[in-house]
Structures are given as structure tokens and as C-alpha cells.
Amino acid sequence: MRALVVAILLVAVVLFIVGLAVKTLGFLLGVAPVLVIVALVLLLLNRFRGRRIPR
């Protein structure tokens, strides 16, 4: 009986960790496109800022 309780507890902990990982992955998948867009805008601003030759 004790082994059954330990097995159930172990499965519950593993499922809890997997659930947290999936939730975190979902959050990161939501944030990633925003970060990519920000990075592209900053890259384009750096590229086309216009490096002028000093007089």
C-alpha cells in the first residue's frame, strides 16, 4: 500500500512539473514573436540610421 502512495505521489509531481513546463512554453511562444519584431525594428534602426561623414 505504501508503494502505491509513493508511486501516485511521484506521478503527481511529474505531471505538475510537466504542466508548469507547458504553461511556461505557452507564455514563451506568446512573447517570442514580440521579441523578434522588437529585435528586427532595432536592427533596421541601427542599419538605416544614416552614418554621415563628418565635415
Concatenated DSSP letters of 19-55: HHHHHHHHHHHHHHHHHHHHHHHHHHHHHTS--PPP-
Q: What is the pLDDT of residues 29-39, one digit of tens each?
A: 999 999 999 99
- Flag whether 5 is in a domain: yes
- Flag whether 19 is in a domain: yes
- Flag whether 9 is in a domain: yes
Domain that holds residue 23: 1-49
- Flag whether 54 is in a domain: no
- pLDDT reported for residue 52: 65
Average pLDDT value over all residues in the chain: 89
Domain count, the chain: 1
- Flag whether 55 is in a domain: no
